[in-house]
Amino acid sequence: MAFLRIDSDVDPFGTLLSLQEELERFMRNPAFAMGPSGFGAYPPVNIFDSPEGALVVAEAPGLDAAKLRVTGTGRTLTISGERVFKPDGNGLGYHRRELSEGKFSRSIQLPEDYEPANAEARYEAGLLIIRVPRGEHAKPRQITVQTA
């Protein structure tokens, strides 16, 4: 399985393109053990693997951070929140109204190796970024070899 190679020293101009190609490839071929696809649910998520654990990145701009909830139980991570669009002042009307509004709640199932109950989440630049650590049982452990 290919790793993302995003190193600005090596590949100064192809960075975004190579990331896009890699993401595109996985859209058609999700990795094994991810459970049923939740494609179409809000917010859309990408899930990555790293030596420390899984990284879930959801695109959800304009949320009220106070109403954002992330919970983890068993293999499941649940995110819920609301987007409200209310501009100040009395408008004369609108020319375009395309931004999505409303409430959402979505559950994501992760492979067994991860522990959603110990996840850490942050909301930054309209991205909800959740780090889910690998469970103790899934970490490599050195086995001591005993001599007779």
Instruction: Calculate the alpha carbon distances from 146 to 103, 140, 143 in Å.
Output: 58, 19, 9
Is residue 79 within 8 Å of 42, Cβ to Cβ? no
Closer residue to other proteins (CB): 88 or 147: 88
16 vs 145 by CB, closer to other proteins:
16
Beta bridge partners of 53: 50, 133
For the chain, the C-alpha Rg in angstroms (whole number) is: 20
Contacts of residue 80, Cβ cutoff 8 Å, sequence gap at least 6: 68, 69, 103, 104, 105, 106
What is the nearest approach in angstroms of other proteins to the Cβ of residue 135? Answer: 16
Least distance (Å) from other proteins to the CB of residue 73? 16
Minimum CB separation of residue 103 from other proteins in Å reads: 5
* CB 144 to other proteins: min, Å: 31
CB 69 to other proteins: min, Å: 14
Nearer CB in complex with other proteins: 13/144: 13
Give the number of C-alpha atoms closer than 13 A to the C-alpha of residue 112, restricted to the C-beta side: 3
Kindly tell me which of 36 and 143 has the beta carbon lying closer to other proteins. 36
Nearer to other proteins, 2 or 143 (CB): 2
- The pairing of beta strand 45-50 with beta strand 53-59: antiparallel
